[in-house]
């Protein structure tokens, strides 16, 4: 926060951190549960259809027979035989790293250059990051790089030893596709619960100033800000809700790696600042950065339960919180209400 916006944002922030929320009715909670079920269910159906289609095409292209993915994994497994730790670390760090930095490289190009211009039309906060503050961005990048490669790297090593103590995360047999989808649904539910409560805990006045305020320096976030946080918050609120699911289920590295990639791409979209066609809506979390005390969760179920989305549901951002299926930006099809004359 810079310039004249500091005092206004600061007052809003203090009011947000100290404000009380109200409970919502069971009908509204059920509506939120149904929306979350549609999102998760649609994702699972898409993954199932995509996985089956991709497997069929790959089998035809390479002339493979039998279980293509199992044969591919067996070759990789034998290549790393006796080096399970290296295989786990590469699988749960290399693939997520490519997913996170690959998607953010494209977003940073738009944020810094403002090109291609057809992407900037979808900016949620139209008057912000146009272009992004390079000094502020460079400072954030230092923390993001430290969190991703050092903090996340150490946690990945710990996770490997815990999972190896429980079973064999790099076993020779892949899980069935349907079991992997069931695991992903469980991971998503667990993340919603743990992220909501850990995130809300860091908004407590006694913790906010010391830890979470750093993340909220960006009232209009960009993609890499997803993991711009104090190291303690990064471990407890960013990493723990994601890594705990595979640890509980003793998941195979293939499922764990896929889940890490999904989680990183999802949080990148939530922070990217652009409501792009055919991608999940980032309006929910963008509003959280704007107002501080609303929309703490991922799917919104617990926000509806605790009434921490009540102000959000009174805004134009809530009306825009949909899957965009056209090329017309929602700021144009659902414009802001005219400002009252002073």
DSSP result, 266-307: HHHHHHSSB--TTS---HHHHHHHHHSSS--SSSSHHHHHHT
Dihedral (CA of 75, 80, 85, 88) sign: negative
pLDDT of the residue at 1: 34
The secondary structure element, H or E, covering residue 73 is helix 68-79
pLDDT number for residue 37: 63
Q: Are 10 and 297 in contact (CB under 8 A)?
A: no
Check residue 275 and give its pLDDT. 97
Give me the residues paired with residue 123 across strands: 274
**CA distance linking residue 272 with residue 221, whole number of Å:** 6
Token look-up 């144009």 returns 332
What pLDDT was estimated at residue 195? Answer: 97
The candidate with the shortest Cα–Cα distance to 286, out of 205, 208, 221, 214, is 221
Q: What is the pLDDT of residue 24?
A: 40
Query: Is the pLDDT at 341 greater than 90, yes or no?
Result: no
Residue 65 has pLDDT above 90, yes or no: no
Give the separation between CA 227 and CA 9, rounded to whole angstroms.
22
Is 0.85 topped by the overall pTM? Answer: no
pLDDT number for residue 58: 54
Question: Which pLDDT does position 57 carry in this prediction?
Answer: 61
pLDDT at 186: 95
User: What dihedral angle (degrees, nearest 10) is formed by the CA atoms of 266, 39, 280, 278?
Assistant: 130
Averaged over 137-141, what is the pLDDT? 96
> Two tokens at 217?
């320096």
pLDDT for 130 equals: 86
Task: Give the model confidence (pLDDT) of 226-245 as tens digits.
Answer: 999 999 999 999 999 999 99
Least confident of 43-47, 67-71, 307-311: 43-47
Residue predicted with more confidence, 63 or 326: 326
Q: What mean pLDDT, rounded, does the chain reach?
A: 86
Tell which residue, 311, 147, 235, 14, has the closest CA to residue 1: 14
Cα 312 from Cα 327, distance rounded (Å): 24
Residue 151 Cα distances to 137, 200, 217, angstroms = 20, 22, 21
CA dihedral of 129, 130, 131, 136, whole degrees rounded to 10? -20
Q: Which residue shows structure tokens 């089998």?
A: 59
> Using one digit for the tens of pLDDT, what is the confidence trace for 67-113?
788 889 999 999 999 899 999 999 999 999 999 999 999 999 999 99
Give the rounded percent of residues in the chain with a pLDDT score beyond 90. Answer: 69
Encode pLDDT of 240-261 as tens digits: 999 999 999 999 999 999 999 9
Residue 149 CA to residue 94 CA, distance in Å, equals: 10
**CA 220 to CA 225: how far, in whole Å?**
10
Residue 63, Ramachandran bin (φ over 0: left; ψ between -120 and 50: alpha; else beta): left
Q: How many helices (H) and strands (E) does the chain have?
A: 16, 0
User: Model confidence over 178-209: pLDDT tens digits?
Assistant: 899 899 999 999 999 999 999 999 999 999 99
Closest CA relative to residue 298, chosen from 230, 231, 334, 245: 245
pLDDT at 178: 83
Rounded to 5 degrees, what angle do the CA atoms 308, 203, 288 make? 50
- Helix 84-113 and helix 134-146, axial crossing angle in degrees, nearest 10: 170
pLDDT at 55: 61
């Amino acid at each position: 926060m810079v310039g004249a916006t500091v005092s206004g944002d600061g007052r809003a922030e203090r009011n947000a951190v100290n404000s009380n929320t109200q409970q919502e009715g069971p009908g509204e909670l059920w509506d939120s549960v149904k929306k979350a079920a549609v999102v998760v269910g649609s994702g699972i159906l898409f993954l199932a259809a995509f996985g089956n289609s991709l497997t069929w095409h790959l089998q035809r292209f390479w002339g493979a027979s039998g279980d293509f993915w199992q044969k591919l994994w067996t070759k990789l497994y034998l290549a790393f035989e006796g080096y399970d730790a290296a295989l786990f670390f590469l699988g749960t760090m290399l693939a997520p790293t490519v997913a996170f930095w690959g998607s953010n490289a494209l977003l940073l190009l738009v944020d810094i250059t403002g090109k291609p211009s057809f992407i900037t039309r979808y900016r949620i906060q139209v008057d912000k990051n146009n272009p992004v503050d390079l000094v502020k961005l460079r400072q954030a990048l230092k923390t993001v790089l430290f969190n991703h490669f050092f903090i996340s790297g150490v946690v990945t090593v710990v996770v490997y030893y815990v999972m190896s103590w429980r079973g064999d995360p790099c076993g020779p047999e892949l899980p069935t596709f349907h079991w992997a989808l069931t695991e992903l649904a469980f991971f998503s539910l667990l993340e919603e619960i743990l992220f909501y409560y850990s995130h809300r805990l860091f908004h407590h006045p006694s913790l906010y100033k010391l830890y979470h305020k750093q993340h909220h320096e960006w009232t209009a976030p960009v993609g890499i800000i997803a993991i711009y946080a104090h190291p303690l918050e990064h471990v407890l609120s960013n990493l723990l809700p994601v890594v705990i699911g595979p640890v509980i289920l003793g998941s195979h590295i293939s499922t764990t790696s896929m889940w890490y990639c999904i989680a990183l791409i999802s949080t990148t979209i939530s922070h990217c600042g652009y409501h792009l066609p055919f991608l999940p809506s980032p309006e929910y979390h963008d509003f959280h950065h704007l107002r501080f005390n609303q929309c703490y969760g991922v799917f919104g179920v617990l926000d509806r339960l605790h009434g921490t989305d009540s102000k959000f549901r009174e805004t134009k951002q809530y009306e825009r919180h949909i899957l965009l299926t056209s090329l017309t930006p929602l700021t144009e099809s659902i414009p802001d209400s005219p400002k009252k004359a002073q």
